[in-house]
Chains A and B, each alone.
Chain A
Amino acid sequence: MTGPTNEQLANLLSRCALADQKAFAALYEASSAKLFAVAVRITRRRDWAEEVLQESFVKIWHHAGNYDTDKSAPMTWMTAIVRNRALDWLRRPREVQTSDDVEALLASVADEGPGPEELAALAAQAGQLRECMKQLGPDQQRSITLAFFHGLSHGELAEKMGRPLGTVKTWVRRGLDRLKQCIEGMQAK
């Protein structure tokens, strides 16, 4: 068991949709630590991650009625909201973005692809995704992991990995294609 059950979280979400604030507080308690970890990974700054988490929970509160149990698991739905807010935050145009900012950002990402915690997270995946990630080439795997966990754009990936933009784009695209084919193949079995 990796957390409160999907049924419990889905129920809390449905009560949030009815403006039940106690359910919202319980939902926060049950899920915020997982979601904060995601926000910190992507934004790489605690203060930004806190802002992202706040915005995300406000969105979860106002849009809880849109959550559909048939379409996704509650944590998937909430994680997607947090990742989207974090990515928007990271990509938002800022008045001044010096090359120092970009360099500091890239330097803050571990040099050799996924760090131990990310590897552990990947290794702990249930079955399909882990198996399929393993089937990717090392560059495909690394570029997808860097983009997913650290929110790097194509340009940042190219800089980080020291390869031309076109090469990196191809790694990501082919990696995603293979990942999808692999998972669909497993689900078809």
Chain B
Amino acid sequence: MKYDNPTIRDRLAAEYVLGTMPWRARRRFEAQLKTSPALRVAVSEWEALLTPMASNLPALTPPRRVWQGIQKRIHGGATATAATSWWYSLGFWRSATGFALAALLALGVVMTIPGDPPTAEETMMVVVMDDMQTNLPAMTVSWEPGQSDSKVLRLRVIGHAEMAPDTAWELWMLPGKDRAPVSLGLITTHELQTLPVPAQLVPTIDDAWGLGMTVEPAGGSPSGSPTNQMLYMGQCVKT
């Protein structure tokens, strides 16, 4: 059996991981993979060796329908974004008159829907914020970077956090070393939410080191500076 020979095993694993095998050879190889721990080890080694080549490819944000498709396949139809699905329904847009749309725009209704992955196929800023007490991811924040008159942060609270009575959650931009946090505003414990970036911070938020969240008295920090240590914190990453 050719898979018993370590040299051949290693060579086949390399070609499998690199991707040069034709369909049938891949199928045969994968059948062997199920029964041969040695082959699995060889594949893991080649994956560890070659896969980092892909790690610095420029990121490309997939369209929103991909996430919706994933949800559908996992939950068999009911999507996690059902609450906002009316927004996307063709019927809604067909029945929405131009006037109604203009009115929405005139009222400055934010045209960003929480809960769905980014729509634009371009780079995104992403912050995964850890709970500083547990060191576990507790919230993600993302937005579209670039020159723009306005920016909207998309927030996703991961944990089952509860806000103590008479307190508020305040989100902070952390500009960088030795520079004071700047308030981005108050947020809620809702899983999905959006937060418009204050106009004066729009030009600089892409360059921030990170974001943080503190628990403040109801209404937010009275002084404009955090009155508590950061409860959630994470570094900004351009993907």
| A and B bind | yes
Q: Assess whether A72 is in contact with B44, with CB atoms less than 8 Å apart.
A: yes
Most buried by A among B44, B58, B60, B73: B60
Interface of B is mostly: mixed
**With A and B bound together, what is the CA distance between A54 and B66 in angstroms?**
6
Q: Is the CB of A4 within 8 A of B237?
A: yes
Task: Tell me what chain A mostly uses at the interface: helix, strand, loop, or mixed.
Answer: helix
B61 in the interface (beta carbon within 8 A): yes
* Chain A residue at minimal CB-CB distance from B50: A148
A138 to chain B, nearest CB (A): 17
| Residue among B22, B55, B70, B80 making CB contact with A57, cutoff 8 Å | B70
> B26 interface residue, CB < 8 Å from A?
yes
B196 to chain A, nearest CB (A): 19
Q: By the criterion CB–CB under 8 Å, are B57 and A87 in contact?
A: no
A32 to B11, CA, bound (A): 31
Contacts of A73 in B (CB 8 A): 48
Decide: A30 near B128, CB < 8 A? Known: A57-B70, A72-B48, A144-B18: yes
Digitize A123-150: 1 where CB-to-B-CB distance is under 8 Å, 0 elsewhere. Answer: 0111001000100000000001101110
Given contacts A76-B52, A147-B19, A179-B49, contact A33 B123 (CB under 8 A): yes
B47: A residues at CB distance < 8 A: 72, 76, 80
Cβ < 8 Å to B, chain A residues 141-189: 144-145, 147-149, 151-155, 157, 172-173, 176, 179-180, 183
Q: Which of A59-111 contact B (CB under 8 A)?
A: 61, 71-73, 75-76, 79-80, 83, 87-88, 91-93
Q: Is B23 an interface residue (CB 8 A)?
A: yes
**How far apart are the CA atoms of A176 and B15 in the complex, in Å?**
9
Which of B17, B53, B140 makes the CB contact (< 8 A) with A129? B53
- Candidates A22, A54, A76, A124; contact of B156 at CB < 8 Å: A22
**Contact, CB under 8 Å: B126 / A4:** yes
B residues in contact with A118, CB < 8 Å = 57
Task: Report chain B residues within 8 Å CB of A176.
Answer: 11, 14-15, 18
Q: Does A12 contact B (CB under 8 A)?
A: yes
Contacts of B194 in A (CB 8 A): none
A-B contact pairs, 18 of them (CB 8 A): A26-B137, A30-B239, A33-B60, A33-B239, A37-B57, A50-B66, A61-B74, A75-B51, A91-B23, A120-B56, A121-B56, A129-B53, A148-B19, A148-B54, A154-B22, A176-B15, A176-B18, A180-B10
